[in-house]
Amino acid sequence: MPDTQPSAAPVPLVVDTDPGIDDALALLLALASPEVDLRLVTTVHGNVDLARTTENALRVLHLAGRSDVPVAVGARSSLVVAQARRAGHVHGAEGLGGVVLPPSPAAVDPRPAVVALAELLLHSEQPVTVAAIGPLTNIALLLSVYPDAAARIGRLVVMGGSATRGGNVTAAAEFNVWADPEAAAVVFAAGLPTVLVGLDVTLPTVLTEAGIARFAAAGPVGAQAAAMLQQYLDHARTSYGTEGVVVHDALALTEAIVPGTLRTVPRDVVVDTGPGAGRGQTLVDRRTPSSSATAVAVAEDVDSEAAVEFLVSRLCRLAGTA
């Protein structure tokens, strides 16, 4: 994966997120990447409650010296069934692994997230990439309320689901899809140009302690990012048996920043929205590539070493300059 300066104008980027430790890394990666221009952050319920995901987003942007990026508050709960539990056991009760970042001087954008996103899409002269790395409630609401704006999304990169790996919150379901299966079903059936970055490619992509040490030593931003990861390291050892952290959201952001990072195949994807044990499962038809108008580009292969090096080198650069 080349780490070169872009020759074209940066691509406008929106990150829809529920910070969360790996969401925080993803935001920092976006800010460290000249290929994209982070225009808006929208927050959603998920890893922790909405008030905390919003505060965490503000504080992470402030950490990187980018309090100018607007943060708009999104959906407080799922479309139909309230999310059964949060992920404090993974991310800490406050969402950032027990690290308390300085408060941001910025206030939240007065517009609801869906309004802010719709206005950006409708007024942007360039196609906008949207990286959705939390539950898909905000994106489903955009499709329902502002379909003309949703149709202007240049590329939707989703961290969620699993084709072959089962789940990470239940035996069947990955967390982001499980948190709002009805929203995911709406989004995957909408025919948007969607890339699905699921557990098939995120689980093999492990950021080791050696990589963390590199950006921890690069400057204060890297040191804080590394501190957030300590609780995540403990969870990874227990849950995945890895000596490092699985960088789910940062891998999705890498694909958003450098399209083609992941090998994708167009597939038909259905979400189980029933009440049973399979709720939240992404049912991916892998028998043959799909030519359907609603096919989703499912990520099926990754150069994990290159993806991790991309993340580490970019965080080193940000830590050394912010």
Give the containing element (helix H, strand E) for 81: none
Query: Does residue 123 have an active-site annotation?
Result: no
CA 66 – CA 59 distance, rounded (Å): 10
Cα 182 → chain centroid: 18
- Alpha helices, DSSP H, located in 174-300: 175-179, 181-188, 199-202, 209-216, 220-240, 248-257
Given 62, 91, 235, 248, the catalytic residue? 248
CA 108 – CA 178 distance, rounded (Å): 27
CA 78 – CA 44 distance, rounded (Å): 9
Residue identified by tokens 């980018």 is 66
CA dihedral for 156, 161, 164, 168, sign (positive or negative):
positive
| Catalytic center residues | 248
